[in-house]
Structure 1
Amino acid sequence: MHRVRPLPAFLVQRYHGWKATGYKDNQAWYRRLADEGQRPRAMIISCCDSRVNATSLFEADKGEFFIHRNIANLVPPYSPDGNQHGTSAAVEYAVTALKVTHLIVLGHSKCGGVQGCLDMCQGRAPAMEEESSFVGRWMDILRPGFERIKDLDEADQAGALEKEAVVVSLENLMGFPFVRQAVDDGELTLHGLWTDIGEGDLEWWDPSTNGFQPV
């Protein structure tokens, strides 16, 4: 552990700025959150991409969202086995312990993970096809989505697969028994969103039309 170093100076400076302003102005709220615990109304599953910021998108305050981020905002199929499942564990905790009432999958434009999946499925990313590739094996989750868009014009495939990442995740969520039960009991609603990070547009998945509509 001798290779672990102190925080870089720019982060230390930003922290002290926040502690002196953002925290000081709202310390009673922070202490209340600490003492009473979190009661988020919604869980958001979004991409690790640094350009995606769900709290800014919805102008959310601390304590409003339970957020889980992974590459390409994917939810794996329900598969209780001996392996570790960070995303599945986060979903279980949000639904069964925190009792969130909304579960949102948030996709986005220009997603590098989705582009990687597209390249892999088309034979252009041999490194991702190696069994040792963590990213490749994670992006296997999206292969069913690729099958649905593979016959589109090449220029349209990446954008379509970004939205398939949302749909595939929603489909997989309904395979979790506790999610399905909460939905059937009217205690949980699922939502699929896609945002254009350049234009700031937001679209939602409309199952009645099998497509995305502007919010």
Structure 2
Amino acid sequence: MSNLPKHLLAGYHKFITGYYITESDHYRSLAREGQTPETMIIACCDSRTAPETVFSAGPGELFVLRNVGNLIPPYEPDEHFHSTSAALEFAVKALKVKNIVVMAHGRCGGIRAALAQSGAPLAPGDFIGKWMSLIAPAAQTVASSSLMTAGERQTALERISVRYSIANLRTFPDIAKLEGKGQIALHGAWFDISTGELWAMNKDTGDFERPEAP
């Protein structure tokens, strides 16, 4: 007897008797020919912000990497394990994606942890604290501002984290080279869970703006 939670089995049954039936030919094609997504999305692990849902994407359309706070570490080729960098390497070198989108979101728990600098670690390893230290300089600056409310500080750092991650993407030699040749484009976005609004980062100014419908 399966040990999978019942709600997962119920969800799978709904998938296999509904959506899969209408998309079975597409799934067989993907299985036979492999994946060729043009866009990689780097998003947060937060269960409320699935990129496939936000962008109404079907199977094979997006290559998605999710981690706490949608962060990209700088390029560090060493003997340690680098899951985020490994995903980037595969997307850029094997899949040859044309776009990389860093998508942050409102009410991010990782960002909240970065702002609460005096907060106790969740566990002795403090993996979240160490990971979010990637944006520690910005977090310290934003947290010290008495001119913003707590909500404004949260949103500010969420959006700043996107700019940090895009800057770190450019430390990867292959990405920097491809961007310089116009063969890959880096994008930033911020999704508001409460309203469903998507804000896109202006590549020239760094400001976040509401994009027009295509």
**Same structural fold, with TM-score higher than 0.5 when normalized by the shorter chain:** yes
Q: Are 1:72 and 2:69 an aligned pair? A: yes
Once the 2 structures are TM-superposed, how far is the Cα of residue 51 of structure 1 from its aligned partner?
0.5
The residue that corresponds to 1:51 in the other structure is: 48
Work out whether residues 144 and 168 of structure 1, in 8 Å CA contact, stay in contact via their aligned partners in 2.
Answer: no
The residue that corresponds to 1:61 in the other structure is: 58
Once the 2 structures are TM-superposed, how far is the Cα of residue 131 of structure 1 from its aligned partner?
7.5
Corresponding residue to 1:132 among 112, 120, 125: 125
Q: Are 1:92 and 2:115 an aligned pair? A: no
Aligned-residue identity in percent: 38
RMSD of aligned residue pairs (Cα, Å): 1.6
Give the counterpart letter for 1:24 in structure 2.
I
Give the counterpart letter for 1:127 in structure 2.
P
Corresponding residue to 2:33 among 32, 36, 46: 36
Give the counterpart letter for 1:16 in structure 2.
H
Give the counterpart letter for 2:102 in structure 1.
V
Of 99-108 and 54-63, the range deviating more from structure 2: 54-63
Once the 2 structures are TM-superposed, how far is the Cα of residue 79 of structure 1 from its aligned partner?
0.8
Corresponding residue to 1:18 among 4, 15, 38: 15
Once the 2 structures are TM-superposed, how far is the Cα of residue 150 of structure 1 from its aligned partner?
3.9
Matches within 5 A, 1:126-205: 126-127=120-121, 132-152=125-145, 153-155=147-149, 156-205=152-201
Work out whether residues 116 and 125 of structure 1, in 8 Å CA contact, stay in contact via their aligned partners in 2.
Answer: yes
Work out whether residues 43 and 100 of structure 1, in 8 Å CA contact, stay in contact via their aligned partners in 2.
Answer: yes
Give the counterpart letter for 1:198 in structure 2.
S
Distance 2:207 2:132 in 1: 22
TM-score, normalised to structure 2, is 0.91
Of 180-189 and 12-21, the range deviating more from structure 2: 12-21
Distance 1:186 1:147 in 2: 35
Once the 2 structures are TM-superposed, how far is the Cα of residue 46 of structure 1 from its aligned partner?
0.2
Of 151-160 and 25-34, the range deviating more from structure 2: 151-160
Work out whether residues 95 and 179 of structure 1, in 8 Å CA contact, stay in contact via their aligned partners in 2.
Answer: yes
Distance 1:32 1:171 in 2: 36
User: Which runs of structure 1 show a deviation greater than 3 angstroms over 4 or more consecutive aligned residues?
Assistant: none
* Structure 1 unaligned blocks of 5 or more: none
Once the 2 structures are TM-superposed, how far is the Cα of residue 148 of structure 1 from its aligned partner?
4.6
Work out whether residues 108 and 195 of structure 1, in 8 Å CA contact, stay in contact via their aligned partners in 2.
Answer: yes
Give the counterpart letter for 1:149 in structure 2.
V
Deviations 1:10-64 (A, max 9, x none): 2112212211111122111100000000000100000000000211211111100
* Structure 2 unaligned blocks of 5 or more: none
Once the 2 structures are TM-superposed, how far is the Cα of residue 111 of structure 1 from its aligned partner?
0.3
> How many aligned positions are there?
207
